[in-house]
Amino acid sequence: MPAILASLLLSFSFLTTVSFAQTAAPPKLFPADPAMPAVTLPDLLAGATTKEQWQSKRRGEVLDLFRDHVYGRVPNTKYQQTFKVIRENKTALDGKATLKEIDIIISRSGASLTIRMNLFTPNAAKDPVPAFLLICNRGQAAADPTRLQKAEFWPVEEGIARGFAMAAFLNSDVDPDKDDGFKDGIHGLLDVEPRTDASWGTLAAWAWGASRCLDYLVSDAAIARDQVAVIGHSRGGKTALWAGAEDERFALVISNNSGCGGASLSRRKFTGKEQVARINRSFPHWFNKKYKSYGDNENACPVDQHMLIALMAPRAVAVGSAYDDKWADPRGEFLAIVHAMPVFKLFGQHDLKTTVMPLVNNAINSDAVHYHIRPGKHNLLLADWKMYWDFANMVFKK
């Protein structure tokens, strides 16, 4: 039976059983929903009542639906992959870290593409450490390995101080963020067969790139290979979710302010939030061709984004919203988690125990699921990272 979003109606009640860490900021609730049509979500479980049924059947069906209707399929083209450590500095960050600059080279038929990944690991660590891989959609300045430019977008110094490895790559290395008919980037290298309605778009290409970085990370002795998190903001957050869906080696998947086509439920339609028609107009290359048919026709799509969150189970997933980021629909991001919980529960994990958003500046954590909303604008800030690091410590039992 389709799940009705009753919670849309009671989003303002005070029945909070939420456990949160109160901060100095005055308690503030996210405002009530604007008027919108009733929302009925597609059925997530489709009769699956055990984790075995989910894993052996329903998970694959849902993954295929997302491939065919939203993000697209990676071609089966054969390629070679090599890693080259271009530079290594064992005394980076005043001796606190080792920096490796790694080229991940993908080649086919004499042509190649290089993804540069920068990786800082803490020198104080005796054992392999959890790693955070940032999909950086803001260019080199936001993920600067020289640390001459220190952006909150990639707070390496703080991450290292907390004992994490911090890695980043530029999405543009994998596929430039432009609508060029899929001629450049990895599409130019691997799209050998004619493209179809289901062929991969640019978000899927970036997600694939994250997996190539993971191929390296799991081979590095400084990294705990079963504790790698993938994190992205906005278009990078959409990408992180799809990377986590496609590649179950990611132990923690973090979507920051990912909005439409990311964590936010597409069927929640109101003026002031980005919707499927608009995102396809603005960014025609991000999704597959089929997804275009769901602009102003969301109910015809066999999936909604709660099903994407559910694909992470039983691994950990974190979603962060910003109060002023109405365009991304923070409540839609929260409700996607709420409606993904039935799958986490199949694995014996605890429920969120609420359908009410936490107060601003607060987080809700269950065994494998985290949500927070912070004040301010659309951005990935140190405040967000701190929430994700705290959650990672819970998940990885540090």
Using CB under 6 A, list all residues that contact ligand GTR: 137, 234-235, 259-260, 274, 279
Active site residue 234: yes
Cβ proximity to ligand GTR: between 289 and 378 the closer is 378
**162 versus 235: smaller Cβ distance to ligand GTR:** 235
Q: Is 378 a catalytic residue?
A: yes
CB of 49 to ligand GTR, least distance (A): 36
Closest separation in Å from C-beta 380 to ligand GTR: 10
249 class by beta-carbon count within 10 Å (0-12 exposed, 13-18 middle, 19+ buried)? middle
Q: Cβ of residue 234: shortest distance to ligand GTR, in angstroms? A: 3
- Asked if residues 283 and 260 have their Cβ atoms less than 8 Å apart, the reply is no
Which residue's CB is nearer to ligand GTR, number 247 or number 274? 274
Pair 106, 94: CB distance under 8 Å: no
- The residue annotated as part of the active site, out of 11, 172, 234, 366, is 234
249 or 278: whose CB is closer to ligand GTR?
Answer: 278
Half-sphere exposure of 253 (CA within 13 A, CB side): 32
For residue 285, which of 355, 195, 384 has the smallest C-alpha distance? 195
Q: At 126, list the tokens.
A: 């005796």
Q: Which residue is nearest to ligand GTR (CB)?
A: 234
Picking from 354, 367, 368, 364, the residue whose alpha carbon sits closest to that of residue 387 is: 364
**Residue with smaller CB distance to ligand GTR, 58 or 138:** 138
> To the nearest whole angstrom, how small is the minimum distance from the Cβ of residue 242 to ligand GTR?
13
CA 344 → CA 1, 51, 236, distances in Å? Answer: 18, 9, 24
CB of 274 to ligand GTR, least distance (A): 5
Residues 6+ apart with CB under 8 A from 54: 45, 48, 313, 343, 346
Which residues form the catalytic set? 234, 378
